[in-house]
Amino acid sequence: MELEASVEGTSELLEGIFELIASSAEPERAPRLRSFARALLCQAPADFFVGRTDADLVELVSSQFGLLESSRPDQIAVPVSLRPGYGHSGAVGVVISDRPFIVDTLGQYLTAKGFEIRRELHPIIVVERDDAGSIKTIGEWTHGSQQRALHETLEELKGAGVPSELAQRLAALQFLGEQMEVTRIAHYLGRPVADVGRVYFALAHEFDFAVMFDLLEMAPGEDAWEQRAAQGLMQDLGQARRNLTLAVLAGDAEGRSIEEQIDVFRSRHGLRLKALHGVLEELLASENINLAALTVATRETLRQSRVIRESCR
């Protein structure tokens, strides 16, 4: 796999981890494992590394690489995680693009063996099932600039020689934080994760949060206070998106479908959604998008989202 040219600007710390991972493998596998580690870890969000030691990263990357090496066209290999401290439970990971029916097949197998399936998590996808409960189609949740970012990353990885299935895994890592947010909201409301995800990502049609997050990531320089201020604004922007998601989902009292709830939301809050659009348009039209401008835009976005949510209680 020729991946070295696909990732630039990696930190000295990561370079040390890459070498550590490569040194754990046989000499003939080391270059491929180093390239795999670079492609995998450089796409991971910052919080992916929190609480993980170098040894944890070596084990994680090596096991994933071994899984990739052992995969065959006529076989689907799945990693199983049994981590200490979580009691009698574990996690089974699958790549949906391998075979859509693998989720049902694994579920039936585990049930037959007496294991309880507590939750199924489908990141960045919408799963449609038939009357019998089997998976029919799998679609995306992402919209707008997020969808463009997903496909651009995917094409970049494929162009660098990364196998298609691995490229899809790596490209989806950039949305890991949003997937966890969807899961938290679903748990708070007691609603299906798929329903919450469809609303959460559909809101990109109403307001392009991804653009705002990108601007906040680029705004601060080396100053530590500016960086902390930008992180606080990111949290406020996340709360604004959460407020709008909760506002949409509050409209199901009459048994409406998700699509109907979104339509009702647009109808009831058209003026405030227009105001949100105006905030972003004014910001993007500015000649100097600095931290001060982003602070004003983020606070106004949060204020409007709170008003919308309060009106739905």
Tens digit of each residue's pLDDT (9 = 90 or more) over 173-185: 666 677 788 888 8
Which of residues 129 and 216 earns the better pLDDT score? Answer: 216
pLDDT given for residue 187 in this prediction: 86
Which of residues 237 and 178 earns the better pLDDT score? Answer: 237
pLDDT given for residue 9 in this prediction: 42
pLDDT given for residue 261 in this prediction: 83
Least confident span in 80-89, 102-111, 240-249, 287-296: 80-89
Query: Sorting pLDDT into bands at 50, 70 and 90, what band is 40?
Result: confident
Q: What is the mean pLDDT of residues 137-143?
A: 51
Q: What is the mean pLDDT of residues 291-308?
A: 91
Average pLDDT, the chain: 74
Q: What is the mean pLDDT of residues 9-34?
A: 76
pLDDT given for residue 306 in this prediction: 92
Q: Does the structure show a pLDDT above 50 at 5?
A: no
pLDDT given for residue 268 in this prediction: 87
In DSSP notation, the chain reads: ---GGG-----HHHHHHHHHHHHTS-TTTHHHHHHHHHHHHTTS-GGGSTT--HHHHHHHHHHHHHHHHH-BTTB----EE--TTS-S--EE---TTT-TTHHHHHHHHHHHTT--------TTEEEEE-TTS-EEEEEE---HHHHHHHHHHHHHHHHTT--HHHHHHHHHGGGHHHHHHHHHHHHHHT--HHHHHHHHHHGGGT--HHHHHHHHHHS--S-HHHHHHHHHHHHHHHHHHHHHHHHHHTT-TT---HHHHHHHHHHHTHHHHHHHHHHHHHHHH-S---HHHHHHHHHHHHHHHHHHHHHT-
153-175 pLDDT, tens digit per residue, is 777 777 777 777 777 777 766 66
Q: Does the structure show a pLDDT above 80 at 296?
A: yes
Which of residues 63 and 283 earns the better pLDDT score? Answer: 283
pLDDT given for residue 6 in this prediction: 35
pLDDT given for residue 148 in this prediction: 62
| CA 257/CA 262 separation, integer angstroms | 9
| CA 123/CA 171 separation, integer angstroms | 12
Least confident span in 195-199, 208-212, 250-254: 250-254
Q: Does the structure show a pLDDT above 80 at 64?
A: no
Q: Which residues of 203-227 are buried (b: 16+ CB within 10 A; e: fewer)?
A: bbebbbbbbbbebbeebbeeeeeee
Which of residues 271 and 137 earns the better pLDDT score? Answer: 271
Percent of the chain past pLDDT 70, that is, above it, reads 67
Which of residues 218 and 254 earns the better pLDDT score? Answer: 218
Q: Does the structure show a pLDDT above 60 at 8?
A: no
Q: What is the mean pLDDT of residues 118-127?
A: 57
